[in-house]
Structures are given as C-alpha cells and as structure tokens.
Chain A
C-alpha cells in the first residue's frame, strides 16, 4: 500500500506522461501539412533537377533539411497554443478514468490521492493518423526520385543558319586545297563563332542574318579579288614569254606583276605562303630572268589555282549573263539559289534581243501623249451617272408603286430583235 506521497508521485508521473503525449500529438498534427508541403516541394525540385540534369549538391540537401526544420518550428509555434498544462492533464485523467474529480481535489489539497494501479493509457495513438503524414511525405519524395522523366534538353543540335556551315566548309576546303593562307580561314571562323555565341533565339534575327550576309559577301569579294590578281599575274607571265614583247612592254608587264603582287599582299585573303614566296622571288629576280620552263610551270600553277577559285565562285552564285540588276559584284541576276540577285534569270523569256542595252536603265520619257508612261494622266472628262428614274419615291397607301415598266426592259431592251419578234407574235 503506497503512502500519499508515493501516490502523488505516481499520479504526477502519469499526468506528465499524458501531457507529453498530448502535446507531442498536437505538434505532430500541426506538422503534417507543412511536412507534406516541404516533401512536395523537394520532390518537385528533384523531378525538375532530373529533367534538366542538374546535380543535387550539398546546397540542395542543406536547403531541404532547413525547410524541414522550418516546418517543425512552424508546427511547434502553432501547436504551442494548444498544449495542455499539468493541471489539465490531471483533469483529463480524472475525466477519462472516472475518478470522480479525486485528482483535482487532491491537487488542491482538499482530499486524498486515489489509489494508483497499473492503469491503461487514457489516450492512444491512432496508427492511421500517425502514418498518414509520413507516408504522404515519403510518397512525394519517392515520386521525385523514382518517377521516370525525359530530359528536357535532347542532344539534338540547334538549327543554325545554313550560310554559316556553308561558309565554314568553303573556307576549310580552300585551306585544304592549299589555295589560301590559314590566317584568313581563322579570321572567318572567328567571325562565325562570334555569330554563334549569340542566343539561339537570335540566330535567325534580321541583324544576325544581315551580318551573315555581309560576311558571305566579303568572302566572295575576297575570292574574286584573289582570282583576278592571279589571272592578272598569269596573263603577265604569258605576255612576258611572248617573242613579240618589247623591252618596254616587259618593263610595263613587270610593273603590272608587282602591282598584282602588292594587291595580293594587301588583301585579306592571301594565296598560300609557298606560292607567295615563289612569286616574290620571281618578282625580285625579274620576269625576264625566269627560264621558260619555270614561267610555264608558274603559269600552270596559277591557272590551276585560278580555276579552282573560279569553280568555288561558281558554286551557288553563278556568273550569269546580266539580264537585270545584280545586287553585288560577281552575282548574276536570278541565279545563286536563295541568295540570287534581283531580276530575272537569263533566257527566261527566250533569246535576248541583240539590241538590248544590258545592265543599264532605259529612261522612258512620258512627255509624248501618244507614248505615255504608266501612271500618266491621259484624259479628264465629265460623265453623268446612269440613274434609274422610274421610281417616283414614296407614295400613299394603296397606290401602285410600280407601273410595270420593268417588264419593258426585259422584252424590249434585253431581247434581241428575233426574240422580240417571236414574243410579239406569241401575244398577237
């Protein structure tokens, strides 16, 4: 048989245990929704990260842990208002164990503590309610980590303007064939890379396409210039070798040779280094001093290079007969694919007249009334509108608004004489 102090201690422990249980349950109840929300957010982020192939670093785990702690703190703040005191726990024990308020009386020192036997807990955990938030939170996390997702970015390359790849391959081809110097190729590639470094959304913007077009034109212009210079040198070499060339002619040709060399040196697109050295050496020795074999070999080499350049120029741009206005040097009207010049392609409408003044505007003078230009004012006259005057306007009620003259128009005017005649004979 326990003494009163022992009983008091036992009941105090029981009340404390009940209070802890109730308060913990309140905290857990308030935690349920924030915990699920945090799990939902974490799961969603994981899903997003997997889709975008982001790595889940320490920052992610720190933030996730912090959010969980924050949810716990929020639940604590909410639950604290509902927590019960020790006195309220005694009241619960009184009420639930049917102790006839003996504990409240004993606590107020107005009565003895009731006997304490191994009593069952007055409140028990509900397994379903306890498991629900945890299961919900775990479900969200499992969804985040295990739900199959397709990566948002496929390894398919972005669609680039075709001109970039074509220009790059052209330059590459020229270098591979040993036609031009590599510095020029590097410069073009660098400019193309600058264009690629823009946002993908802007690759096809007007500014980007205009810059691409400008680069393309500059490249074509350089190829033309180099081709022209090489042809000039070749012609010079050919004329120097001619037996009819006088000394003065040869000096003039030497001068033309050096000018062409100077042009090639100053241009952006230079021939390959080996050729430049050979040409420079020839210019230094003097064209007269070159042997016939060396000159012919040089001529062949130059012709070969010029032909290759010519072939490259012909690809996609064409050297069409001028039938209209070309928008740039070396580009024929109506030819060259999507970058063709304005005007019609040659021979589109058959053979051109031999008198056609190609490539020039012909001004049409409109002063002669007999040969007016389109848009000239030829004549001004006043005419009267044809009005139907048969209608007399509003009339009083019951009056005929039409005298039936409309029918006249049908059989008198609209019918031809034979029809009128047969119609008349029918009514007669």
Chain B
C-alpha cells in the first residue's frame, strides 16, 4: 500500500480544519466533541452520542451534513417504530397494466443518518440497523439494496428517562466506532449562544467540502502509516481490557473485541491526519482509546456498586499499559 505523503496529509489537514471551524460556528463551546465527531467520521465509523436533551446533538449532525454537502435524514426512534420504517418497504405499483412490488427506500438511504433517541425503539427495530451499519446494505424480501457512499449513522441517546427504553445490545454497540459523552456548556459558551442564537431559527451553515474532496480526505486517512510498535500497543491495550489481563481490568466482565482494535487503529490514523502527521502514534491511540472502548466493556455488578465506570477503568488501564514492551530496570528512573 502506498502511504500518504506529507503534501496529501497537509491538504487533508487543511480541509479538516475548515470543517472544524464551520462546525464550531454551529455548536459553541463543544470543540472537543466536534473534534471527536470529525475524527469518527474520517475513520469511517458510526458514532453514538449520549447526552441530555438540548445540548446540540441534533444540530451538530445536521451541521455536519451541510458542511459536507451530504444527504442526511433523521429518524426519530419510538417504541412503535418498525424495521420497515427504517429500511423501506416494497410497495405494490401498477406499471403498464402490470402490478408489481417496487422497493420504496426508507430513511436509511442517506449519507448521514441521524438516529435520534435510538434506545427508544424495540430491539427488533434496532437490529434493522445492524446490517446497514456493518455492511452498508439493506436486505428486504430477499433483495439486497446497497446504501449510498459514504454512509454514517450518528445515533443519540438520553442517559435519563430510561423507563420504556431498550438498552442497545452489545452487538449493536460494538458497531459504533465512538461513544461520545455530550457535556453541558460552559457559562461563556452559554452566553455566546444567548447572544448569537434565536429560538426556533436554525444556524446558517456553509458547505465546506464537496463529496469528492471528502472522499479524498478519507482515502488519505486510510493511507496513514501505522508503525508496528503502535499496532502492538493497540493489541496489548485491547487484550488488557479482558478480565484478569491487567490490574486495572479486574472488575471487567467482558472486554473489547478485535473490532475495537481495528477501530482504535482507524481512529488513530484519522487523529494523526487531523494533527498533520503521516503516521499514527502512541499518543493518538491513547487519546481515542476512551471513546473507542467505553461502550465495548462491561463491568461486573460489584464494580458498578463500588462506583467504578468504564471511563475510570480505561484511565487506569492507559496508565498501566506502557507504550514500550520493555521494563525499566530498578537502578534507572524516568528523567523529569
């Protein structure tokens, strides 16, 4: 494989920078969240956003689709939503005197799909997304329909009001590249929102990147060099998420899958391009690890009772697993 050169990386970085600036005009005070959303999209992954209502999750997704000049659709997940409502249904049509079923595509046929409050739909409906997210296609009545490229699912869920919701199964969660926590805004960001926004009026967003440019940026990300030692670090990190493999993960019931390792590698490469580098690094892996791993690890009951969270376990794990595979002899210490 031909690796991305410096010029390609620099060009990709400039595109990403423009995207980021545009999105920061949509959502104030959420720079980190925007960075991670862009990181996830550039890594060709789906993103699960978790946060309280009104923090701008939907606005962010809509803004992203506008800046990228991509088709976006929103699906509001409710308990009575059916799989066909998402994937589409065959409809009986009369053409030239003949009646036949014609597939009517559902809202999933878009470049960016906003699955709002995904945990309110039944597991049957949620599972309609499985094939679409992993294989970028939909099968209805034995007929397979490919989804447009690029295809991203950005789902949101509310951490409160859990009555009448259906927690996403592990298989479904594993298909999301990132799970991002949307935090509340700072006072300064709130002040800026109050001053520059009006209730009921959507912010004006400019198109920044055409589809071809966006795809070239994604191609550059794919061709970022991942050093063997970094790949080894990713492997050790994912392996250590399993119970008994590290001191930090004693309280883990189930660890991360190989898909998590692939996600880490892909997200690290995207982060490297965002930082203007043609190679992924240990630091990139460490930065994206919480977003990649937090929804892929299940803590045991006792640990949850003790107040442990997946984020605290991942933090301890990142401290425990060193970048290098060699130990430091006792007569030496790290220079400050």
Known: A88-B325, A108-B227, A110-B3. A101 touches B280 (CB 8 A): yes
Binary per-residue interface labels of chain A (214-252) against chain B in the complex, 1 for a CB within 8 Å, 0 otherwise? 000000000000000000000000000000000000000
Known: A22-B326, A95-B323, A104-B230. A126 touches B225 (CB 8 A): no
CB under 8 Å from chain B, chain A span 79-120: 82, 84, 88, 91-92, 94-96, 98-102, 104-105, 108, 110-111, 120
Distance in angstroms from B70 CB to nearest chain A CB is 31
Evaluate contact between A126 and B281: CB separation under 8 angstroms. Answer: no
Q: Give the contacting residue for B329; candidates A29, A96, A102; CB below 8 A.
A: A29
Interface membership of B160, Cβ < 8 A? no
Known: A94-B323, A95-B322, A110-B278. A101 touches B227 (CB 8 A): yes
Interface membership of B87, Cβ < 8 A? no
Interface membership of B328, Cβ < 8 A? yes
Q: Give the contacting residue for A123; candidates B228, B322, B332; CB below 8 A.
A: B332
Per DSSP, are chain B's interface residues mostly helix, strand or loop, or mixed?
A: loop
Known: A98-B283, A101-B280. A123 touches B326 (CB 8 A): no
Known: A100-B283, A101-B227, A104-B227. A22 touches B329 (CB 8 A): yes
Evaluate contact between B325 and A82: CB separation under 8 angstroms. Answer: no
Number of interface residues of B (CB under 8 A): 30
Complex CA–CA separation, A100 to B323 (angstroms): 11
* Contact-residue size bin, chain A (C-beta under 8 Å from the other chain): 20 to 34
A residues near B283, Cβ cutoff 8 Å: 98, 100-101
Q: Give the contacting residue for B324; candidates A92, A120, A129; CB below 8 A.
A: A92
B residues near A124, Cβ cutoff 8 Å: 332-335
Interface membership of A25, Cβ < 8 A? yes
Known: A91-B229, A91-B323. A101 touches B279 (CB 8 A): yes
Measured CB to CB, the nearest residue on chain B to A124 is B335
Q: Give the contacting residue for B326; candidates A84, A100, A129, A130; CB below 8 A.
A: A84
Distance in angstroms from A98 CB to nearest chain B CB is 7
Evaluate contact between A123 and B328: CB separation under 8 angstroms. Answer: yes
B residues near A94, Cβ cutoff 8 Å: 229, 281-282, 323
Interface membership of B277, Cβ < 8 A? yes
Evaluate contact between A108 and B225: CB separation under 8 angstroms. Answer: yes
Interface membership of A122, Cβ < 8 A? yes
Measured CB to CB, the nearest residue on chain A to B328 is A123
Q: Give the contacting residue for B334; candidates A98, A102, A122; CB below 8 A.
A: A122
Measured CB to CB, the nearest residue on chain A to B3 is A110
Complex CA–CA separation, A345 to B334 (angstroms): 97
Distance in angstroms from A379 CB to nearest chain B CB is 97
Q: Give the contacting residue for A104; candidates B229, B327, B333, B335; CB below 8 A.
A: B229
Evaluate contact between B325 and A126: CB separation under 8 angstroms. Answer: no
Complex CA–CA separation, A91 to B323 (angstroms): 8
CB under 8 Å from chain B, chain A span 117-140: 120-126, 129-130
Most buried by B among A88, A94, A120: A94
Closest 6 CB pairs of A and B: A95-B323, A101-B281, A25-B329, A100-B281, A105-B279, A104-B227
Chain B residues packing against A (C-beta within 8 Å): 3, 225, 227-230, 272, 275, 277-284, 322-335
What are 24 A-B pairs with beta-carbon distances under 8 A? A25-B329, A25-B332, A29-B331, A82-B329, A91-B324, A91-B326, A94-B282, A95-B323, A98-B283, A100-B272, A100-B275, A100-B284, A101-B229, A101-B279, A101-B282, A102-B281, A104-B229, A104-B230, A105-B225, A110-B279, A120-B335, A122-B334, A124-B335, A126-B331
Given contacts A25-B332, A123-B333, 9 further A-B contacts (CB under 8 A): A26-B329, A94-B282, A96-B334, A96-B335, A100-B277, A100-B281, A105-B225, A110-B3, A123-B334
